[in-house]
Amino acid sequence: MTTTSRSESMNSFFDEYVKPSTGLKEFIENSQRALETQYLNEVKADYETKYKQRRLLFNSGLEIHASAIYTKEMFRQFQEELRKSASYVVRSCKEGSNYIWKLYLVEKYNVPENCRRSYRVMVNHG
């Protein structure tokens, strides 16, 4: 985040609580109220992250673990990537593999067969 966008977000945060006509005493009171509101929002988000059960798409071990460690927004992004990855098929390929390298063919299966592209992925097991 750039300095300009940071200051703009801080300004927009305080806009609700502070007006150009606000006096010094009112400014301090409103600023305190704004910070308390922000703190309470963060406490609520932390509580939801730790204790609220997340909706699982696949109920896999990886997804369950991610739901326990990620914030709500990061978990949503993780689930989106996990959902996208489920549309790929990975097949082990004997030729091109040896005791150090393993070759895999990866295809996206939910597209018409004449449009599919195969990706060759080599993994170093050494």
Q: How far apart are CA 106 and CA 124, in angstroms?
A: 16
Residue 90: what residue type? V
Residue 87 near residue 97, CB atoms below 8 Å: no
Spatial distance between the Cα atoms of 101 and 94, rounded to a whole number of angstroms: 11
Q: How many DSSP H helices and E strands does the chain contain?
A: 4, 3
Tens-binned pLDDT, residue by residue, of the chain (126 aa): 555 555 566 567 667 767 778 788 888 888 888 889 889 988 888 887 777 778 899 999 999 999 989 988 999 999 999 999 989 999 998 887 888 899 999 998 888 888 888 899 999 987
Domain match, 102 and 81 both: no
How high is the pLDDT of residue 8?
A: 61
Do 44 and 23 have their domain in common?
A: yes
Handedness of CA 50, 51, 52, 55 (dihedral sign): positive
Q: Which domain holds residue 71?
A: 55-86
- pLDDT score, position 26: 86
Mark whether 5 and 27 lie in a shared domain. yes
Question: Residue 14: what pLDDT?
Answer: 66
Residues 39 and 10 in one domain: yes
Do the Cβ atoms of 103 and 97 come closer than 8 Å?
yes
**Hey, which residues does 108 pair with through a beta bridge?**
88
How many structural domains does the chain have? 3
Give CA separation, 119 vs 33, 34, 89, 91, 126, in Å. Answer: 55, 52, 10, 10, 22
33 and 9 in a single domain? The answer is yes
Task: Tell me, yes or no, whether 44 and 15 share the same domain.
Answer: yes
Same domain for 26 and 65, yes or no, is no
For the record, the structure tokens of 99 come out as: 């005791």
- Shared domain check, 92 and 64: no
